[in-house]
């Protein structure tokens, strides 16, 4: 599935409650002539995201369309922020000596980074200029990351940023790195492959990015054992449901009475769907679009695909709404939901969504014969 929504598509699907805010914010970002201007625009985007998250909370009659639309909209605005940072950096360094592509990774690459934002990026550049290009993009990378930090975008806690040499390579070096991590499969390599499968060009020339993505998918198809190890990550964490369908919550500590909706719900679906998408050559990066691509490929039944989509959306509605409230209270947002604060209907739906995750994990485990892995 390769179709990306056009501006017309997005405006047509935009809930009326959002009014013209996205268009106004896009203009504010485009007009930002300095880091201070861009910081104000970024703050406005964050405020819009929080307001919209609260609006989405409790509105689920559309099966999740609104929360997915919000994800796409916030991703589009944050892409524009990244492009403007890219432009401001190049205004200081001068034009690059070679074509290059800035890639969004992780939840940003999947267009699912609603409120808890940090940096997840990579860079690939053409090889013709050799050392000159390597030196230029090292300077570019450090300025780019520093500028994002000054805007208020936190660093990736795992160091997945272009100021780290391993995430900033020439096209040839990237292909060699992909070959190495797919030839000798280990835990770190699988984690890195998972991150790269979400790569999405956001600035510069997109072709080096798409070429790298095609190479990665080709290597995975040639080495199907990789799929089995990717799939194993999808069953690493179980949904927090007990033997009698009761919630399993934290017994002590800061999150006492809560459950981690990302660990037990969002992550297993994200990773399993990512694995199936890699096998079936689905080029989209968002989980919603991957599910649609898998339905088109016949890899999922219509009914089960719809249930997975609804479960994934509901997890994000709860998580994002909770994070919006935490930000409003000046707390650091996290992934914990307090079931006793939900309505009876919401608790019932949440249990059904976790049951869908359990069913999906069983499907993944059987399909990829995970019992054969030691």
- Per-residue pLDDT tens over the stretch 16-38: 445 557 888 999 999 998 999 99
Residue 320 — very low, low, confident or very high, per pLDDT cuts 50/70/90?
A: confident
What pLDDT score was predicted for residue 9?
A: 46
Q: Specify the long-range contacts of residues 270-273, CB closer than 8 Å, at least 24 apart.
A: 270/110, 270/312, 271/194, 271/230, 271/231, 271/233, 271/234, 272/231, 272/234, 272/235, 272/360, 272/361, 272/364, 273/308
How distant, in Å, are the alpha carbons of 71, 239, 245 from that of 353? 20, 9, 12
pLDDT tops 80 at residue 374: no
247-280 pLDDT tens trace: 999 999 999 999 999 999 999 999 999 999 999 9
Average pLDDT for 349-368: 96
Q: What is the pTM of this model?
A: 0.89
What pLDDT score was predicted for residue 22?
A: 83
What pLDDT score was predicted for residue 58?
A: 52
328 located within any domain: yes
Does the CA dihedral 178-213-157-131 come out positive or negative?
positive
Closest alpha carbon to 175 in 141, 203, 140, 209: 209
Please state, as a whole number, how many other Cβ atoms lie within 10 Å of the Cβ of residue 293: 23
- Domains of the chain: total: 1
Beta bridge partners of 201: 103
301 located within any domain: yes
pLDDT tops 80 at residue 231: yes
Which range marks the domain in which residue 265 is found?
225-374
Structure tokens at 138: 């090292």
115-153 pLDDT tens trace: 767 899 999 999 876 789 999 999 999 999 999 999 989
117 located within any domain: no
Give alpha helix (H) positions in the chain: 7-13, 21-31, 35-56, 65-93, 106-109, 131-151, 171-183, 187-196, 206-222, 225-234, 261, 267-279, 287-296, 302-328, 344-367
291 located within any domain: yes
338 located within any domain: yes
């Amino acid at each position: 599935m390769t179709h990306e929504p056009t501006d017309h598509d997005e405006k047509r699907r935009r809930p009326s409650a959002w009014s013209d805010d996205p268009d106004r914010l896009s203009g504010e970002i485009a007009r930002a002539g300095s880091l201070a201007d861009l910081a104000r625009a970024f703050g406005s985007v964050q405020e819009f995201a929080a307001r919209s998250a609260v609006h989405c909370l409790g509105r689920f009659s559309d099966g999740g369309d609104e929360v997915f639309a919000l994800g796409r909209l916030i991703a589009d605005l944050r892409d524009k922020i990244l492009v403007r940072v890219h432009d401001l950096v190049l205004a200081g360094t001068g034009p690059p000596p070679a074509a290059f592509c800035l890639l969004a990774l992780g939840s940003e690459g999947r267009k699912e980074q609603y409120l808890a934002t940090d940096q997840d990026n990579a860079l690939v550049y053409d090889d013709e200029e050799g050392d000159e290009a390597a030196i230029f993009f090292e300077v570019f990378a450090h300025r780019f990351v520093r500028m994002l930090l000054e805007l208020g975008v936190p660093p990736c806690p795992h160091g997945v940023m272009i100021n780290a040499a391993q995430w900033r390579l020439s096209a040839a070096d990237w292909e060699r790195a992909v070959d190495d991590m797919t030839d000798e499969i280990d835990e770190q390599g699988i984690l890195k492959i998972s991150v790269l499968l979400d790569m999405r060009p956001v600035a510069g020339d997109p072709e080096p990015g798409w070429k790298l993505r095609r190479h990665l998918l080709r290597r995975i198809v040639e080495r199907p054992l990789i799929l089995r190890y990717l799939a194993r990550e999808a069953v690493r964490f179980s949904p927090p449901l007990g033997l009698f369908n009761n919630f399993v919550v934290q017994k002590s500590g800061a999150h006492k009475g809560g459950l981690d909706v990302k660990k037990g719900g969002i992550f297993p679906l994200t990773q399993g769907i990512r694995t199936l998408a890699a096998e079936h050559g689905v080029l989209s990066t968002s989980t919603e679009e991957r599910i649609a691509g898998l339905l088109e490929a016949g890899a999922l039944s219509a009914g089960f695909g719809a249930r997975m989509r609804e479960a994934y959306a509901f997890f994000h509605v709860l998580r994002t709404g909770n994070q919006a409230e935490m930000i409003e209270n000046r707390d650091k947002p996290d992934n914990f939901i307090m079931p006793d604060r939900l309505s009876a209907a919401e608790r019932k739906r949440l249990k059904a969504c976790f049951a869908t995750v359990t069913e999906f994990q069983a499907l993944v485990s059987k399909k990829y014969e995970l019992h054969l892995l030691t």
